[in-house]
Structure 1
């Protein structure tokens, strides 16, 4: 007998790109219509999980912070197991859970693209990289299911116009979707939320 499991959305990106801000904004935007849980991955502390709880983004019982430690790449399987266990724990706590947002830290960036851990990958980059954006984040630009370019309004200050930014990202992405966002004002957030809603319409069977 097939059982429904939650859609797992992985959120990756460099430090300071806005991963936690996006996660918090999505919880607030989708929380009224979906049952949501969050797993944060951090090397040494539960800082991101603590922030989400303290800010009132989600009740404490819906957030699990996974402290991965300084795992070398050879033990990536262990960190994956810890993450999957956390997702499973949330599913047990909340039968009928619709969505689990999994934030991946920088100690194992490739995990964000693992189909074992995520059904849908969002990769967040900061538009303040300007003309260096495509060079610095080339692999992620092409691999993510949805690329989220945060602080897009800052691009002109870094020597790249909005048209240049759209052209460069579009060239790297091909026919894969991307969204230009500014989480401070909410610009682009509806488009990200809609992408998740559409993905969640695909039946997921354990």
Structure 2
């Protein structure tokens, strides 16, 4: 019987660090023995897929770039057909896969994923966008299964109050998962890996 492959969406605004997060997570998850593939979405390019391929973490065939040709919302929420076809091809080619990431093209705070496409999704924001992001009540921020607040190291340099971000994020997301990360140093990435392993893959992380 063919096993079910977990699917995890990664969304968030342009420049929030979605691809950088994947560049950090992929090697960490591979050390856990997790078999991975990635589908990226861009408007009229496959730039994010090419960036990941250049890193050399995975065989290039396991990284597929989808050119949505329209608003990223469409390909991950309203009509995810292109992504579903890309996922199906990966599942056929690599039946040993445990997890497929689906990275959305850069979008805004309203970006959400269809659960027909993914089992769960991460929404990435960055501290450089301002400490008022939680108060904007974006659908992606509020509804995501895990919010990653990235680039926490730059808070002092952009005048952002990290303590305020933590408080208002907690107030608005109540009991939903949050991770605070610095992809340059690796801070907080263990929280994301633990979430993926325990919630999607139902195994313990060794980190």
Q: How many residues align?
A: 202
User: What's the TM-score once normalised by structure 2's chain length?
Assistant: 0.87
Residue 156 of structure 2 is aligned to residue 156 of structure 1: yes
- 1:114 offset after TM fit, Å? 1.0
Aligned to 1:132: 132
Q: Deviation per CA, 1:101-151, whole angstroms, max 9, x where unpaired?
A: 000113698674210111111000011123321234532221010000001
Native 8 Å contact 1:42 1:66 kept in 2: yes
Partner of 1:132, secondary structure, is coil
| Within-5 A mapping of 1:64-79 | 64-70=64-70, 79=79
Does residue 179 of structure 2 align to residue 179 of structure 1?
yes
In structure 1, the partner of 2:168 is 168
Distance 1:73-1:11 versus aligned 2 partners, 3 A rule? closer
Deviates more, 1:129-138 or 1:141-150: 129-138
Change (3 A) 1:103 1:72: closer
Partner Cα distance (2:44, 2:180) in 1: 31
Partner of 2:14: 15
Deviates more, 1:65-74 or 1:86-95: 65-74
Of Structure 1 and Structure 2, the greater helix share is in 1
Structure 1 residue 79: Cα displacement: 4.7
| Residue in structure 2 matched with residue 59 of structure 1 by the alignment | 59
Q: Which residue in the other structure is 2:91 paired with?
A: 91
* Alignment map for 1:18-33 (pairs within 5 Å): 18-32=17-31, 33=33
- TM (normalized to structure 1)? 0.88
Q: Which runs of 5+ in 2 are unaligned?
A: none
Give RMSD over aligned pairs: 2.5
Stretches of structure 1 lacking an aligned partner (at least 5 in a row):
none
CA distance in 2, matches of 1:199, 1:58: 23
Query: What residue number does 1:101 align with?
Result: 101
